[in-house]
Amino acid sequence: MVCSNYFNVFNVIFYRLINMEKKNYNRFFHLHTVSGIVISVGLYIIFFAGAFTLFLEAISDWEKGSFLDQNNQEVLSTNKLDYDRLLNSLAQNDYDLYGRSISLNLKGKETQNFTLSQSKDTISTKNATKEYDLVVDTNTYKITKQKEVDYSSIGDLFYYLHFYYQLGRFGYYTSGFVALFFLFAIVTGVVVHWKKIISNFYVFRPLAKLKTVWTDAHTVLGMIGLPFQFLYALTGAMFGLGILASLSSPLLYNGDTDKLDGVLYENHEVDLGTRTALNTHIINPLLDSLATKWPDFTPKYITINNCASTTMQFEVSGSISPKINFFNNGAIIYDVSTKKEVYSNSPYTSNYNDAVNDTMYSLHYADYGNLGVWGNIGLRIIYFIMALITCFVIITGVLIWLAARDKKNIPEKQRRFNEKVGHIYLAISLTMLPITAFSFIVSKLIPHDFLEYRKVILYWVFFGGWLLLSIFFTLKKNNYFINKYTLLSGGILGLCIPLVNGLSSGNWIWRTFLNQNYTVFIIDTLWIGIAIISIYTVYRLKKTNKSLF
């Protein structure tokens, strides 16, 4: 009954929206236009960078020329780690473990990376006051320090650019607000175009006037990508702005941010207890009991908190097969001294919060579980295509705005200003294609001896080159020129990418396919597809009226 009442209310509101007066219609139309224009460049960057972020791990493997297993799955450790032996080995290497946390991401084969935090003990001395990134050999349990310089990938650059994290938290919040305004633009767009959205979907008039061409393209592609765009607007706003909930702590918990975080993120850590000997706490049997409790459970993340203390905790996070349960993530925390469960979140039964969070992450990251090799690749390719379609919808929206303001009744000064805005918008957006292709080539050719300079080189090449190209094409003051030569240069550089990969590493596209190295194969294939479409578009532009651009 309650659901029925809500549905009826929604119907009444929506009916009034689509049958609004002319005055209200104009208001929604202008709100849709303004919100779209304000976020256009920022939104284009988010979707373009996000398209390549979908293949983050594949890009890293392509750069390194490495091979994953043929099932394209995460490679979990083949050697069962002895955690009691690991703790003893750390102690024998003069690491004071009291009050420290050990965090492990269970990937790798012969070695296992982990983090040893600084101690919670306020009077700790020497190495206990520092955090270390360490490596343990799972055969000999020899402890070594990780290299201080991590491998920097062009994929990482796009991952951070996707939510502007190069600007820190300000950039992260900005990406959330852009997603929120995008959601607003989608809703107002549906309301404005609802009555004609189906009939206009089948209409395309390439020989009509300028504004009509872009309107048709904007409507058709916007309709095709509407569910995808709504999904990303909603999940993007949730991720980008959800963290702002912590700002309410002065009102809810008397300024205690840690207490609020504990409620929001289910923080189950306890205060540091008194020091105890390591041999009084045994961890391995806890994993054995977990294997009995959840027989199909695969641990992926291990955390040992408050080491060598009376409040020592052992936390395990992982998942079961999505074939057993769609919401398949689970976690459990043991009190090591009593061997009792402090917290348990079964992967077989999920509560409301877990279901929502898991669903949002799965939808946003195109991670629906084990779909097989080509299932996972195919899903990401669909997301990739929809992201690029959204980029085109954004561009056509800007062009509609420009065409609508290129009229005789608009003052010449205002028309020139609008033209400049259009040149800047298109130059910043469209130059992302050639500079991305060029950055891929550079990332492949950086020598291994320059490992510690990779990040600096990639950032200078991408952002410096993007800035120079944007300025150059803006100064050309010709939208047709911008469109043609960004596509042409991007297409040519895109074709060079698989050639550079083959010449530099021997991973020719046919060889990677035959060797079932699909993560490397798909990157070369994507760039060949992008290059062919870009060059074909340039070829078709020669046969069209230049005034359309």
Q: With a cut of 70, say whether residue 231 has pLDDT above it.
A: yes
In the structure, what pLDDT confidence band is assigned to residue 434 with cuts at 50, 70 and 90?
very high
According to the model, what pLDDT value does residue 243 have?
Answer: 60
Dist. CA 424–CA 467, nearest whole Å: 11
pLDDT of residue 109: 52
- Phi and psi at 431, nearest 5°, equal -75, -5
CB 249 within 8 A of CB 256: yes
Asked whether residue 469 carries a pLDDT value surpassing 90, the answer given is yes
Between CA 372 and CA 369 the distance in angstroms is 9
Count of helices and strands (H, E) across the chain:
20, 8
Please check the confidence at residue 2 and state whether its pLDDT lies above 70.
no
Distance CA 162, CA 141 (A): 39
Q: Are 98 and 308 in contact (CB under 8 A)?
A: yes
CA atoms within 13 A on the CB side of 438: 20
Average pLDDT over residues 79-95: 83
CA distance 343 to 347: 13
The residue assigned the tokens 């049997």 is 285
**Confidence label for 3 from pLDDT (cuts 50, 70 and 90):** very low
Q: Which residues contact 43 (CB under 8 A, 6 or more apart)?
A: 178, 182, 394
Separation between Cα atoms, residue 111 and residue 194, nearest integer Å: 58
Q: What percent of the chain has pLDDT over 70?
A: 74
Percent of the chain residues past pLDDT 90, beyond the cut: 16
CB 183: neighbour CB atoms within 10 A? 18
Angle at 118 between CA 454 and CA 111, to 5 degrees: 55
How high is the pLDDT of residue 431? 94
pLDDT in tens, 15-70: 455 555 555 555 555 555 555 566 788 889 999 999 999 998 889 889 887 543 33
The confidence score (pLDDT) of residue 244 equals 62
118-156 pLDDT tens trace: 888 777 777 777 888 888 887 888 888 776 556 678 988
The whole-angstrom separation of Cα 531 and Cα 518 is 20
- The distance of Cα 190 from the centroid of its chain, to the nearest Å, equals 26
Angle at CA 156, nearest 5°, toward 60 and 298? 65
Pairing of strands 132-137, 102-105: unpaired
| Residue from 479, 475, 439 nearest 457 by CA | 439
Q: What is the pLDDT of residue 9?
A: 42
pLDDT tier for residue 494 given thresholds of 50, 70 and 90: very high
Q: Tell me how crowded residue 217 is: count the other CB atoms within 10 A of its CB.
A: 19
What distance, in Å, lies between the first and last C-alpha atoms of the chain?
54
Mean pLDDT of 523-541: 89
> What is the residue type of 90?
L
Residue with more model confidence, 469 or 277: 469
| Predicted local distance difference test score (pLDDT) of residue 473 | 93
Count the Cβ atoms, other than its own, within 10 Å of residue 225.
21
The pLDDT value given to residue 262: 59
Q: How confident is the model at residue 419 (pLDDT cuts 50, 70, 90)?
A: confident
State residue 329's pLDDT score: 81
Rounded mean pLDDT, 87-105: 86
Q: What band does 446 get if pLDDT is binned at 50, 70 and 90? A: confident
Mean pLDDT of the chain: 77
Q: Which residue has the tokens 């659901």?
A: 3
User: 345-400, pLDDT tens digit by residue?
Assistant: 888 887 666 677 777 777 787 777 666 677 788 888 999 998 998 888 888 777 77
Return the structure tokens found at 477.
């003051």
Q: 149-198: per-residue pLDDT in tens?
A: 566 789 889 999 998 888 887 888 888 888 888 887 777 777 766 666 66
Q: Which pair of tokens denotes residue 215?
A: 């309107």
Mean pLDDT value of segment 1-22: 47
The pLDDT value recorded for residue 461 is 94
According to the model, what pLDDT value does residue 347 have? 83
